[in-house]
Amino acid sequence: MSNYIAIDIGGTQTRAALFAPQSSTPILTQRISTQKESETPLERLLGLIASIWEQSQPVLAIGVAAASPVDPYRGIVIDAPNIPGWVNLPLRQYIEDRFHVPVALGNDANLAALAEWKFGSGKGHRNMIYITVSTGIGGGVILDNQLLLGERGMAGELGHITVLPDGPLCGCGQRGHLEAVASGPSIARWVELELGQGIPSILKAGHSLTAKEVASAASQGDALAKAAFQRAGTFLGRTFADYLHIFNPTAIIVGGGVSRAGPLIFDPIRAAMQSSVMSPQFLDNLTLTTAALGDEVGLMGALALAQNLIEK
Ligand SMILES: [Zn+2]
């Protein structure tokens, strides 16, 4: 039987899995650290694919998700900040030259959107937004059953929308982006600043907090912690209304650690979205929900890419 190989390359760990056609349950999975002194990251990656290849032939196609900007048309890793030397790396070519099967490459946040649409909470939606709110904010857009890529494959940067001009510095270097006010670290940072101003809370000033700690304090009724999620959720909800106006989706799927705060974040999101839409029609049949796929979302996106190469 012919199979697919899916790869998810992170800065620290790379995962690989083998899937039978029409199946989203892996036959086997393997995990290695992305970098090791004795080998280049590319050698390690090719070795990982080879070890799976030996256990399954023939392979129909290989899909690769990378946690960095990529050019999906040319199969190039543009710049992987956590992997030394991976700048303008023609990764697709390297893998195709070695294994002689079609290879497709995508950015992990975009591919997470593809995975949720094909296998998760977005199933059956022609038009869908996926946004992950964790250390950063990323995502992807499915329009008319297609992943929106843009001219160079850079579309779908849903976290880099200016929501607070001259606001806090964003991970991308600009100020006041959604990511800089609503990501996990941004929520924690805001609480730290408020504590520094003497705002009372069960959280203690003077050490760096996490969004998880803030969520836990909020669940114990802490007013400052609740206000932090209210604030982040309001920024998110207003921006979601913007997404509705631009893309008119029937689903907004929220993944990432912050989405696990439940009503604490979803209540203000829903309220701000409802009060910010230009017309209630945008909310008709709209599903706002959490992502269905967990850690394996990148692998599942890579699988969807590989399947697209063959099953179109
Ligand atoms: Zn930004």
CA of 61 to the centre of ligand 1 (A): 34
Residue indicated by tokens 């520094």: 196
Residue indicated by tokens 């929501």: 163
Mean pLDDT of 33-57: 90
The pLDDT of residue 22: 85
CA of 168 to the centre of ligand 1 (A): 10
CA of 138 to the centre of ligand 1 (A): 10
In this predicted model, what pLDDT tens digit does every residue of 207-232 receive, in sequence order? 899 999 999 999 999 999 999 999 99
More confident residue, 24 or 281: 281
* Reported confidence tier of residue 57, pLDDT bands at 50, 70, 90: confident
The pair of structure tokens assigned to 212 is 């998880």
CA of 159 to the centre of ligand 1 (A): 6
CA of 80 to the centre of ligand 1 (A): 17
Examine the pLDDT at 166 and tell me if it is beyond 80: yes
Asked if 210 and 188 count as a contact pair (C-beta separation under 8 A), the reply is yes
CA distance 199 to 205: 10
CA distance 9 to 303: 13
The pLDDT of residue 37: 86
**Which spans in 71-210 are helix H?**
91-99, 108-119, 178-182, 184-196
The pLDDT of residue 1: 65
CA of 185 to the centre of ligand 1 (A): 14
Q: Which is nearest to 26 in space by CA: 309, 306, 228?
A: 306
Mean pLDDT of 70-81: 93
CA distance 169 to 185: 12
263 CB-near residues (< 8 Å, 6+ apart): none
CA of 230 to the centre of ligand 1 (A): 21
CA of 180 to the centre of ligand 1 (A): 7
The pLDDT of residue 21: 87
Examine the pLDDT at 64 and tell me if it is beyond 80: yes
**Model pTM score:** 0.93
More confident residue, 312 or 142: 142
* Reported confidence tier of residue 71, pLDDT bands at 50, 70, 90: very high
In this predicted model, what pLDDT tens digit does every residue of 267-306 receive, in sequence order? 999 999 999 999 999 999 999 999 999 889 999 999 999 9
CA distance 60 to 29: 17
The pair of structure tokens assigned to 209 is 């907090």
Mean pLDDT, the chain, integer: 95
CA of 173 to the centre of ligand 1 (A): 6
The pLDDT of residue 82: 85
In this predicted model, what pLDDT tens digit does every residue of 118-143 receive, in sequence order? 999 999 999 999 999 999 999 999 99
